[in-house]
Amino acid sequence: YGHYTRQLLKELGFNLNLAPVLDLADFNSNRFIALRSFGNDPQKTSHNGYAYSQGLISQKIIPTAKHFPGLGSAVLDPHSTVVSNAATMDEFEEHDLVPFREFSKLGANAAVMMSHMVYKGLDSSGSPASFSKFLMDDVLRKRIGFQGVIVTDDLHMKASSSSVSPSEAALKSLVAGSDLVMLSWSFTEQRKTFERVKSAILKKELSLVYVNTNFPLILTLKKFVYTDPSQN
């Protein structure tokens, strides 16, 4: 499936796919993510998600696993409201984190998208995962071992924009540890965000050392996508 998907994307000129969905949810449940999931079995989802991603990578399409650390429990849609999960780290280790741990074995030529859900049992700050340094750095980077690029879900979504403007949300997420921020439809907000992040670097609200340290992760993806294998 990943092989055929990459053929279509390649022909259309895309080099990154916001898939696979690694959230665990029963197909027949009322969960928001149910029909987009590989199912509720951590091992099967790990196997299918990894295989799908290999199919994409085989022809230089970057896979993006989502929505870390897991959105499968959500009944309500974070596009339109704030959602939360009170599960403990032990519960996540046994269930939701399993597919992401397997996906991380793909190495640096991959991306992970952060959820906008609030994980009260993991981060007591009450911040959505896309603003949580603990979830991005301590859990995804150190505990899981992910080496690729961290991207936010759309910062226009209600779960993000209900508490802070998209431009401030972007800065907040970058400070917390993301590498790419997504604003999918407003050119005005995209421009505001560009200027806000630039200003934050000049004012040292966002560390230039951090930017220079993380930027090579993005360059690694670009090099992978644009290098002609016949010249290696």
Active site residues: 79, 153
Q: What are the two backbone dihedrals, phi and then psi, of residue 102, each rounded to the nearest 5 degrees? A: -65, -45
Q: What are the two backbone dihedrals, phi and then psi, of residue 77, each rounded to the nearest 5 degrees? A: -90, 115
- Strand locations in the chain (E): 16-17, 62-68, 84-85, 111-114, 118-119, 149-154, 180-182
Instruction: Return the structure tokens found at 127.
Output: 């911040």
Q: Which of 21, 22, 151 is nearest to 98 (CA)?
A: 22
* DSSP sequence for 83-137: -EE---HHHHHHTTHHHHHHHGGG-SS-EEEEP--EETTT-TT--BGGG-HIIII
Angle CA(126)–CA(127)–CA(132) in degrees, nearest 5? 125
Bond preceding residue 67 cis, omega within 30 of 0: yes
Residue 159 near residue 117 (C-beta atoms within 8 A): yes
Instruction: Return the structure tokens found at 20.
Output: 């696979």
Instruction: Return the structure tokens found at 72.
Output: 């499968």
Instruction: Return the structure tokens found at 60.
Output: 């230089």
